[in-house]
């Protein structure tokens, strides 16, 4: 295998990252750091358990690459490299956060976000998704994916999709922690992030049809709503933060309902109206390509 040394380095970096995660998880360091630097977007504790399934998917990805390396996706070497580079910044984020250097922690997770965004672009362009709707403002129906395998979707595209999606939420929280550390506390900032989070994920949902990304987005919104509700219930109404926590709870809850409603509508529309037959979707008729439409127009003319 041509990329075996790079895969080995990536595996070692990921294992070290898991060990450090386990160490801080056992000591409760990251939880203590989160409580020491609370902001209005911090999710409820239970919602951080999403790291388990995410890391499990990444483990399956690496094991699969060792046993049966993918040869159909041309960007696999770049994917290994980006994954490898993201691991030290993940560890740096944890170390700086535990030590109280929140600005450096944000710098690390922001670079990690950029690296994983590049990794997501590779899998999004190369691996055909499982589409749940026929209403997509994208070219998925005409785009020639390097891989149309369902296994590649499950064990290559999905791991990096959910990893980057959760990093989006974590980086947003880290940014707000850094801003709060500078003494800047303003509700319009949180209103902006709640609105942008819903809008950005709706665009990704409609544009790519990535159901795993939609799930993580919804998980984060519900986690933020529950976290705000729990903190509000521990405060007396006279506390100025009481109103703020309830405001975030209301906004995140509304965003969750809107996002869930859109997702269910798109699925219902496909079941009700049918129409195009997209990859791994319900029975229907394949939409003609632009070339076919142009040819037919010429024949008619």
Count of C-beta atoms within a 10 Å radius of residue 159: 25
Q: Residue 53 corresponds to which tokens in the numbers above?
A: 């399934």
147 has pLDDT over 60: yes
Comparing 121 with 234, which gets the higher pLDDT?
121
Comparing 192 with 278, which gets the higher pLDDT?
192
**pLDDT for residue 139:** 52
Lowest mean pLDDT among 51-60, 104-113, 261-270: 261-270
275 has pLDDT over 90: no
245 has pLDDT over 70: yes
Model confidence over 283-301: pLDDT tens digits?
444 444 445 445 544 544 5
Q: Residue 22 corresponds to which tokens in the numbers above?
A: 């386990």
Model confidence over 16-49: pLDDT tens digits?
999 999 999 888 888 888 888 878 898 998 998 9
88 has pLDDT over 80: yes
**pLDDT for residue 262:** 86
Where in the chain are the domains?
Answer: 4-288
| For the chain, the helix, strand and coil percentages under 3-state DSSP, each to the nearest 5 | 75, 0, 25
166 has pLDDT over 80: yes
**pLDDT for residue 8:** 96
278 has pLDDT over 60: no
| Torsion angles phi and psi, residue 287, rounded to 5 | -65, 140
Count of C-beta atoms within a 10 Å radius of residue 223: 23
Mean pLDDT of 62-73: 94
Nearest Cα neighbor of 40 from 256, 193, 157, 168 is: 193
Q: Torsion angle, CA of 149/155/161/167, rounded to 10 degrees?
A: -170
Return d(Cα 35, Cα 29) in angstroms, integer.
Answer: 10
State the pTM of this model: 0.85
By percentage, how much of the chain surpasses pLDDT 70? 84
SS3 of residue 276 by DSSP: strand
Q: Residue 253 corresponds to which tokens in the numbers above?
A: 């809850």
Instruction: Say which DSSP state 45 is in.
Output: G
180 has pLDDT over 70: yes
């Amino acid at each position: 295998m041509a990329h075996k040394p790079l895969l080995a380095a990536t595996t070692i970096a990921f294992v070290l990252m898991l060990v450090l995660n386990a160490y801080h998880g056992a000591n409760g360091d990251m939880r203590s750091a989160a409580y020491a630097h609370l902001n209005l977007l911090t999710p409820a504790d239970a919602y951080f358990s999403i790291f388990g399934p995410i890391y499990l998917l990444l483990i399956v990805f690496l094991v699969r690459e060792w046993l049966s390396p993918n040869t159909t996706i041309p960007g696999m070497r770049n994917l290994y490299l980006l994954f490898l580079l993201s691991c030290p910044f993940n560890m740096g984020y944890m170390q700086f956060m535990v030590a109280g250097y929140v600005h450096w922690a944000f710098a690390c997770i922001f670079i990690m976000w950029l690296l994983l965004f590049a990794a997501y672009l590779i899998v999004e362009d190369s691996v055909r998704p499982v589409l749940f709707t026929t209403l997509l403002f994208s070219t998925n129906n005409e785009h020639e994916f390097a891989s149309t395998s369902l296994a590649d979707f499950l064990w290559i595209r999905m791991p990096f999709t959910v990893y980057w999606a959760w990093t989006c939420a974590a980086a947003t929280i880290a940014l707000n922690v850094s801003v709060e550390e500078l003494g800047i506390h303003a509700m319009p900032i949180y209103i902006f992030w709640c609105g942008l989070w819903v809008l950005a994920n709706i665009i990704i949902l409609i544009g790519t049809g990535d159901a795993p990304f939609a799930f993580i987005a919804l998980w984060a919104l519900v986690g933020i709503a529950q976290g705000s509700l729990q903190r509000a219930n521990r405060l007396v109404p006279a506390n100025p933060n009481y109103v703020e926590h309830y405001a975030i709870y209301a906004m995140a809850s509304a965003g969750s309902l809107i996002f869930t409603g859109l997702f269910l509508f798109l699925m219902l529309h496909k079941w009700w109206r049918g129409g195009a037959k997209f990859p791994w979707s319900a029975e229907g008729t394949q939409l003609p390509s632009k070339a076919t439409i142009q040819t037919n127009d010429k024949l008619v003319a």
